[in-house]
Amino acid sequence: MFEEFKKFAMRGNVLDLAIGVIIGASFTGIINSLVNDIIMPPIGLALGGVDFSNFFWVLKGETADTLAAAKAAKAVTINYGLFVNAVINFMIVAFALFLLIRQINKLSAPKPAEAAATPEDVLLLREIRDALKK
């Protein structure tokens, strides 16, 4: 059983998947920072100084001005602003992966075959045809 597991774990697909998961986890931190620290502040400023992370509904408990205050008061909330941030994160990751896969496909695509040179006998027959037309 150990040998069978070793064969399974050492297959190329499993190793590729493990590498992909590790890189994806690292990439997530970068994308979170990009969205939270670079993209969302200008969008919030354009919308009048709005902070999406503080968009929430209080279902039960005290109403608060910020999400942190609501959580400190043990209020039950629906955090739709955080959901908006997560959707933007997803869209950026999906677009980045699309660009990456697109480039990989361009690099690995087979180059179109060059047109084969026309055989000499075909060229000769074309010359005869053209001469007969004249």
User: In terms of pLDDT, which residue wins out, 96 or 133?
Assistant: 133
What's the whole-model pTM score? 0.54
Confidence check: pLDDT of 54 > 70: yes
The pLDDT value given to residue 125:
92
Question: Residue 76, SS3?
Answer: strand
User: In terms of pLDDT, which residue wins out, 13 or 22?
Assistant: 22
The pLDDT value given to residue 12:
64
Mean pLDDT of the chain: 82
Q: Which residue has the tokens 């955090």?
A: 79
Average pLDDT over residues 53-67: 85
The pLDDT value given to residue 31:
79
The pLDDT value given to residue 127:
93
Domains of the chain: 2-110 (1.10.1200)
Distance of alpha carbon 50 from alpha carbon 45, whole angstroms: 6
pLDDT band at 130 (very low <50, low <70, confident <90, very high): very high
pLDDT band at 20 (very low <50, low <70, confident <90, very high): confident
Instruction: Give me 107's structure tokens.
Output: 């690099």
Distance of alpha carbon 12 from alpha carbon 24, whole angstroms: 18
Confidence check: pLDDT of 82 > 90: no
Q: DSSP letters of 45-75? A: HHTTS--GGG--EEEES---SSHHHHHHTT-
